[in-house]
Structure 1
Amino acid sequence: MTLHDILPGKLGFGTAPLGNMFRAIPDEQARATVEAAWEQGVRYYDTAPFYGAGLAEERLGEVLATKPRDAYVLSTKVGRIVLDEHETDVPDFGEKGGLFEHGNPNKILHSWTADATERSVEGSLERLGTDRLDIVWVHDIAQDFHGDAWLAKFEEARTGAFRVLSRLREEGVIKAWGLGVNRTEPVELTLALDEPRPDGFLLAGRYTLLDHEHALQRLLPAAVEQGVEMVVGGPYSSGVLAGGAHFEYQQAPPAVLEKVARLKDLAARHGVSVKAAALQFSLAHPAAAAAVPGATRPERLAEDTAALDEPVPAAFWHDLRAAGLVSPAAPLPAGV
């Protein structure tokens, strides 16, 4: 079964912002945003225990509890267990440090073992208030990629999380599993394994208008060859492509802001919204099954839906490539 067989459309909803990413948002606003996604026809929702130490799962589950369970697809992640005890020190989340400082105060345990995977799934089911998950991603095993440290995490996940999730898939408990990461290396390594075999992967921020060269080199050709599909996470590059100030979970540096300005200028000349360019570029790759932008305001969901269907002239894509703003190896939307 492929991700295309499971997912109900090209546009999903990523719930990291509901975990109070970067800033605190009121519960009422979070609920209204999920309701807006539903009203816009979004039927795929992605979340994770890491998002606000369970806060995003709780908020999402509260709204989805009012919807028919068979009407939507739900994915979450394993690799972080939300503990009952509260954090007293500043948690070490590496490159994602401080990202969810406004989330729940619970401590988070990092572990990709078999036992931790089962505990993580049980915790997510409870917070989401549901009896089943459709897709489970193995979260962030290559965070802070450097040296050999991540290889130990990968081996722990290979002998733990990968095998547990493969068993759950075989038993029909879940429909699919894969990696949910913001690095290409662990997915490349996983695709090189004889077993366990993933069904797909969620790649955050690594197949966008601003960052796609590395994914195009080895990962995506291997994925297409093996029929393993991708969910594009963070298609707006942490928000900087949608009018925000963040890139890679930090304040966007001058070089990124300069490239965004060039993209905006080119888009304006063609009467194209940057959101439309960003979404449609990411989804043009044959490995892409869906994209899951996040939001904290209800009106953003209407923007995303409109961006997905917005007519974009072929001349825009040709000028984008001619200006060197996208790789010549990147597939462009059909008909270009």
Structure 2
Amino acid sequence: MNLREILPARIGFGTAPLGNMFRAVPDDEAITTLNSAWDQGIRYYDSAPPYGAGLAEIRLGKLLSSKPRDSFVLSTKVGRVILDEVETGASDLGDKGTLFEYGRPNTIMHEWTAEATERSIENSLERLGVDRLDIVRVHDISQDFHGDIWLQKIEEARTGAFRVLSRLRDEGTIKAWGLGVNLTEPIEITLALDEPRPDGFLLAGRYTLPDHEHALQRLLPMAEEQGVGTVVGGPYSSGVLVGGTHFEYADAPPAILEKVRRIKEICVRHGVGVKAAALQFSLAHPVSAAVIPGAIKPSRVAEDLAALGEQIPAEFWRDLRENGMVSPQAPLPGGV
């Protein structure tokens, strides 16, 4: 099923920050933000078990479990199973090892087999307090592996998670499945398979103003040709576009900081909000079905919604292009 037929709007809510990403977020702050997002009309929510070792799903469930199930769209992920036992050392999250250091201390198991996939879904339903999911994505497959191990893990997912999710979709238990990753290569490999066939993807951080060249080379043309939609996660590049210091979940390198500085300079010159430029750029590609910025304050949700509707002059997009801030191949709003 086409993602745009499933999603209620072109903007949703990414819950990674509510898993205590980068810092400990108090419960009342998290719940207030979620309630505010609902009151402001957000009806699509994306989560994942590793976000705080189940914390984000638990917090999201406090909101969604009280709402009519047909009134919202919900996606989560498989590939990480949260165990009851407490982790005695640092959580094994690969390149995200310290990202959720303030989350729950539960042990996280990496597995993409059929059994682990079904178990992960059952556990997510319990944490979320709902009876069904709309979209399920295979999370960060091959993110932390290389060479032959990478291919082994993709094969594990193909014969395990992919087939389970395809069956659940065909049975009508879920509406769609795909991958949720921040590398383009796993999606390209999946699109090249004869079967199982995914419905769409969540690509985090790889189609943003500071970082979109690689996605434009192979992935997005493949997805467009096959009619597969993509949800853009991390549209603010881990926060570096909007005043933060992180890019790819780590300290932003000098080259990215310089590019962000130049983007902001052009925004100021045209009186354009950085958030507006970021969201509208990510949505301009025909493959993009929605964006899901995260938030930990109600005011941030309001800013995101306002940014989506901000009127941006064509001269701004031309200025970005002429200054080399966006690829010549990148579609721009209004067909610029």
Q: TM bucket by the smaller chain? A: over 0.9
1:89 paired residue number = 89
1:278 paired residue number = 278
Given the alignment of the two structures, is residue 294 of structure 1 paired with residue 290 of structure 2, yes or no? no
1:53 paired residue number = 53
1:253 paired residue number = 253
2:267 paired residue number = 267
2:74 paired residue number = 74
Question: 1:21-60 to 2 correspondence within 5 Å?
Answer: 21-60=21-60
Question: Conserved in 1, the CA contact under 8 Å of 2:209 and 2:281?
Answer: yes
Alpha-carbon distance between aligned partners in 1 of 2:269 and 2:189, rounded to the nearest angstrom: 42
- Unpaired runs of at least 5, structure 2: none
Alpha-carbon distance between aligned partners in 2 of 1:327 and 1:120, rounded to the nearest angstrom: 39
Alpha-carbon deviation of 1:145? Answer: 5.1
Alpha-carbon distance between aligned partners in 2 of 1:6 and 1:244, rounded to the nearest angstrom: 32
Runs of 4+ in 1 over 6 A off after TM superposition: none
Given the alignment of the two structures, is residue 234 of structure 1 paired with residue 234 of structure 2, yes or no? yes
Classify the secondary structure of the residue corresponding to 2:28. Answer: helix
Amino acid at match of 1:126: E
Amino acid at match of 1:40: Q
1:211 paired residue number = 211
Alpha-carbon deviation of 1:253? Answer: 1.5
Instruction: Write out per-residue CA displacement over residues 80-107 of structure 1, whole angstroms, 9 at most, x where no aligned residue.
Output: 0000000001122221110001001100
1:305 paired residue number = 305
Classify the secondary structure of the residue corresponding to 1:244. Answer: coil
Alpha-carbon distance between aligned partners in 2 of 1:72 and 1:165, rounded to the nearest angstrom: 21
Alpha-carbon distance between aligned partners in 1 of 2:27 and 2:236, rounded to the nearest angstrom: 24
Alpha-carbon distance between aligned partners in 2 of 1:259 and 1:145, rounded to the nearest angstrom: 29
1:129 paired residue number = 129
Amino acid at match of 2:105: P
Question: 1:170-249 to 2 correspondence within 5 Å?
Answer: 170-249=170-249
Amino acid at match of 1:214: H
Alpha-carbon distance between aligned partners in 1 of 2:145 and 2:278, rounded to the nearest angstrom: 26
Alpha-carbon deviation of 1:335? Answer: 4.2
Given the alignment of the two structures, is residue 162 of structure 1 paired with residue 158 of structure 2, yes or no? no
Instruction: Write out per-residue CA displacement over residues 273-295 of structure 1, whole angstroms, 9 at most, x where no aligned residue.
Output: 11000000000000000000001
Instruction: Write out per-residue CA displacement over residues 42-62 of structure 1, whole angstroms, 9 at most, x where no aligned residue.
Output: 110000001000000000000
Alpha-carbon deviation of 1:148? Answer: 2.7
- Unpaired runs of at least 5, structure 1: none
Classify the secondary structure of the residue corresponding to 1:334. Answer: helix
Alpha-carbon distance between aligned partners in 2 of 1:218 and 1:67, rounded to the nearest angstrom: 40
1:19 paired residue number = 19
- Report the count of equivalent residues: 336
Alpha-carbon distance between aligned partners in 1 of 2:305 and 2:39, rounded to the nearest angstrom: 11
Alpha-carbon distance between aligned partners in 1 of 2:142 and 2:332, rounded to the nearest angstrom: 29
Alpha-carbon deviation of 1:243? Answer: 1.4
Alpha-carbon deviation of 1:40? Answer: 1.6
Alpha-carbon deviation of 1:244? Answer: 1.1
Classify the secondary structure of the residue corresponding to 2:174. Answer: coil
Given the alignment of the two structures, is residue 138 of structure 1 paired with residue 156 of structure 2, yes or no? no
